[in-house]
Structure 1
Amino acid sequence: MKHVDLLRALGLAFVFSGSAGAGTAQEAAPPLQAQAEEIIARTSGDWSVVAWSITQEEPLFYINGSTPLVPASNNKIFTAIWALDELGPDYRFETDLLTVGPIEDGVLQGDVIIRGSGDPSFGYPPHFKGGVFVEDPMTPLRKMAEGLAAEGVRVVAGGVVGDPTIFDAILVGPSWPNDTGAGAAQYAPRVSGLPFQRNMVWVEVTAPDNGDPPLVQLDPPVEAIPVVGNLQLGGGRALAVREPNQDTIRVRGSVNGRGPHRFGVGVADPALLTADALRHALVEAGIEVRGGARIGETPEGAKVVHRHVSIPVAMMIPLLSRHSDNFFAEHLWKAAAASAIGVGSYPRGGPASALHFIAKAHVPAGQLYQFDGSGLSNYSRASAHALVQALVYADHQLYSELWHDALAVAGERGGTLARLYRNTPAEGNLHAKTGYIRGVRTLSGYVTAKNGELIAFSFLYNGGNTGGARGAQEELGVLLAEYLSVERSVDPSGDAGDPLR
């Protein structure tokens, strides 16, 4: 890839982005500049918009391309590419069962430890993403219990320790939206180095036949998660909630029928959930555990008894790209940070990812900063230029086919673009990552023009009219899909007016 040519051409195009028609007679504007400016002018707000022909290595339009805006879930583009670069498509997370102390007459004279590496697929609920996760979430923990029993252990004199220290202790991303409930919401659970079952528990409510008050239990039936029920029989609705700064789940309201009625709630301390779920699996397997579940670090000399390996990263990328799964995005981002700098850290991960893309994809300094992996944080910033640089870079990597296939496809079921671009030349062609949080609407990806050119694009909008922005982004996508190239006249030296050199 000719990185210098890309920077020069986009820098030249920048001359035309200050205002419509700002170029000189010697400097021809990119061919779709005027049409793109007209489209976005109808929606007030802040725009950063770039389209780049990968085939011709030339810009098609460039409007405020170097202006960093809130990217929302377009942030996941950087996360996915960083994970593919740093971890690799074939990388598999490891979750270990370890023992501390000798085994004497079937009694382990110490603790059992479960140590994580941030595997978001560990015990993942199969009904969330059909076709990938087919096992009961407890299956990997039951296999660990079988492994411990095979060592001759019938009693654990200590307790079960969960070790999440591959990641830092910050479990919620900076400035996540209020409706995440600080990790209580299903769409944005907390982030841990020792995740399990999407870091959620299921609250099941059943109404007995004899008219007694409804029964409340957890799935899995862990003891470390406090639950308080205040339910009645009858009409209305029931809720299971956890306040942002509390660990107790409160169930209130009323239920009709026997049920069970199920409510998913993100837990306050995912590693404690994992450790207690393992404790339940051990007891279920006939192993007595005399201590409780707690959080701690793995001591030196601990013996690995069983190792669970995850599905490969290649199978996880579509979950954060096509399905925009925040849970996978956050864990893959922190895992990439752990690989790069030794710990999965929100404060240290942002600079590490920025340096990665500056070095690898030649993203201009100051045009990318990730405060989290998903884009839920409205502190994160990226320019359309930075996103296009990353997209062009990914297209030239060995994992290019995997990456393209992982993105949502316009008009196709099973992704975030299912309802967009229908009955247009972009349908079944444009494939991209969507993004939305309050006041933000973004779309970045690829489309093939009528003449066969592969185009990388990024349409970022911050403002109060996200509905209008969505319509404008559809128009821009169709504009690119319908494009037939013409003779371009771009200064080959790229020296004049280049702000990026």
Structure 2
Amino acid sequence: MRRRFFLSGALSTAALPACANAPETSLRPAAKPADALARSAPDAERLIASAGLGGRVGFMVADARTGEVLETYNPIRPLPPASVAKAVTGLYALETLGADFRFQTRLVATGPIVNGRLDGDLVLVGGGDPALDTDGLHDLAGQAKASGLREVAGRLLVDGSALPVIDRIDPTQPDHVGYNPAVGGVNLNFNRVHFSWKRQGNAYDTALQARTERFRPGVSTSRMRIADRTLPVYTYARAGDVDDWTVARGQLGGSGSRWLPVRNPDRYAGDVLRTMLRSNGITAPAAQPGRGQGTTIAITQSAPLNRIVASMLRYSTNLVAEVIGATATTRLTGPPRSLGGSAATMSAWVAQRTGGRQPDFDDHSGLNGTTRVAAADMVRLLTAAGAMTRLRPLLKELTLDGPPRQTVQAKTGTLNFVSGLAGYFDARSGRSLAFATFVADTDRRARLSVAERERPQGGRGWARTARSLQFDLIERWAAVHA
């Protein structure tokens, strides 16, 4: 069946109690004889069979306020949630850190500033801010100038110790995809660098920049070489502190651009900070990792966490999910040693929050396809006391074309041959429902080579069919569970 949706505003609702335990088999509520709409709704198992997706399907729908389980299909089967995991991470961070929590990034002087000269080190101290960009570093440099700084006599240091540095979220992804960058205590431009090219005769002009709308500084911590080949499109190697890329000449065409991941975020941020200091009339040596204590001479803060979570859920930004999840874990148990360790802490938090089974999160973003969550456990969290009040207003709103039109506040999730959808909607009677639907063909996914993972054959069609099935189920539930 056809399914179209578009984005609009978000809704808010009241708090809700915990969800009841899920039955093992599918429940089919008996429609009242007078309820022709409910009787005409297609059977859930028939919808699943007609989709012909292969793999596995699991769902649960429950009353969002009482937790009453209304309908299930394989509700306790663990399946990959893909980016639906970000809804869990958002709630985990909001409840652990608070909606008004803000990340801070500081410039610290370890010695006095005398006649414009800092007799000591200048330290960029990261707080993990996932939205820090080149504009923010320029603003820090401007504050340093206002403090009287003109020259750094000591070292320029970058302290990213607030979070462990992980060079990529998922090691099984292709090297060049921008949605799989490093994660650390200093994160600049989502830890991505902008690569652009333009043909000039028989050659190409290329640039690697820490680009924003205001600034386009070049960087020395990433470099690109054009290779005379057709495939692979990109290769990557680490050359000391430099991300060393090559790109196939046969793939470039006339001109273009794309974002590439950064693997050494501290060096990258230090490189750009030095440029921003120079643009404000401040000389400093090349940056290096390090720590130092002293006087804060400049500070910048992120937006409050509830706005960060809303943006993450809307744009499904993997870096943001990993940072806010790891920061929440740091608050609970101290800095994690790995993303997997932090995700395990979140898994335990979910079980404690719901009083149910413990899911198996391997990261906070869902990018890693080894994470497993059952639909029942997801719905228990969505219907836990206070969860809907915090989460539903921040979820992206989808409107399913009718008639009648059906609005849904939900988080989507898509990986190769994996599709998830979970959130809230109101039945046609106005009854608020919480749901989760996971679809996965993990065998087909496992057979993909690394080269096939960015655009696998048949992947888009499979994803469209999976999403259509999820929307068909919502329309069924909206009619039946009124």
Structure 1 position 196, deviation (Å): 0.8
Matches within 5 A, 1:23-62: 35-42=43-50, 43=52, 44-55=54-65, 57-62=67-72
Report the counterpart of residue 492 of structure 1 in structure 2: none
TM-score normalised over the length of structure 2: 0.80
- Ranked by relative contact order (alpha carbons within 8 Å, sequence separation 6 or more), the top structure is 2
Point out the more displaced range, 222-231 or 473-482.
Answer: 222-231
Q: Are 1:387 and 2:413 counterparts?
A: no
Structure 2 letter corresponding to 1:438:
N
How much has 1:281 moved relative to structure 2? 0.8
CA deviation vs aligned residue, 1:381-431 (integer Å, no higher than 9, x gap)? 11101110111127x35xx456223222223xxxxxxxxx32244x45122
Deviation at residue 87 of structure 1 after TM alignment: 1.6
Contact 1:176/1:376, CA 8 A, preserved across alignment: no
Question: 2:282 maps to which residue?
Answer: 287
Among 363, 367, 370, the alignment partner of 1:372 is 363
Letter in 1 for 2:82: A
Partner of 2:125: 115
**Is residue 95–residue 117 contact of structure 1 (8 Å, CA) maintained in 2?**
yes
Residue 444 of structure 1 is matched in structure 2 by 422
Q: 2:393 is matched with which residue?
A: 405
After superposition, residues 54-203 of structure 1 pair within 5 angstroms as: 54-55=64-65, 57-123=67-133, 138-173=134-169, 175-179=170-174, 181=175, 184-203=176-195
| SS of match in other structure, 1:97 | strand
The letter of the residue matching 1:349 is S
Q: How far apart are residue 453 of structure 1 and its match? A: 1.0
Structure 1 residue 36 displacement after superposition: 2.4
Q: Offset at 1:315?
A: 1.3
Please say if residues 239 and 263 of structure 1, whose CA atoms lie closer than 8 Å, have aligned partners that are also in contact: no
Aligned pairs, how many?
425
What fraction of aligned residue pairs are identical, expressed as a percent?
25
| 1:32-63 deviation line (CA, Å, top 9, x unaligned) | 99932333244442222111012454221122
Separation in 1 of the partners of 2:225 and 2:168? 26
Match in the other structure for 2:452: none
Q: What is the match of residue 264 of structure 1? A: 259
Unpaired runs of 5+ in structure 2?
1-15, 29-37, 211-216, 445-461
Which residue of the partner structure matches residue 450 of structure 2?
A: none
Q: Which residue of 1 aligns with 2:272?
A: 277
Corresponding residue for 2:236? Answer: 243
Q: Are the structure 2 counterparts of residues 226 and 320 from structure 1 closer, same or farther at C-alpha, using a change threshold of 3 Å?
A: closer
Q: 1:333 aligns with which of 325, 330, 336?
A: 325
Superposition pairs of residues 416-455 of structure 1, within 5 angstroms: 421-425=400-404, 427-455=405-433
Q: Over aligned residues, Cα RMSD in angstroms? A: 3.0
CA offset at residue 256 of structure 1?
7.1
User: What corresponds to 2:459 in structure 1?
Assistant: none
Look up the match of 2:207: 217
Q: Which amino acid aligns with 1:306?
A: A
Give CA-to-partner distance per residue, 1:325-344, whole Å, 9 cap, x none: 22222222122222222215
Residue aligning to 1:356:
349
Q: Is the 8 A contact 2:419 2:439 kept in 1?
A: yes
Secondary structure in structure 2 of the residue aligned to 1:429 = strand
Under a length normalisation based on structure 1, what TM-score does the superposition of the two structures give? 0.77
Aligned to 2:298: 306
1:356 & 1:97 partners in 2: Cα distance?
34
Q: Could you tell me how far 1:459 is from its partner in structure 2?
A: 0.8
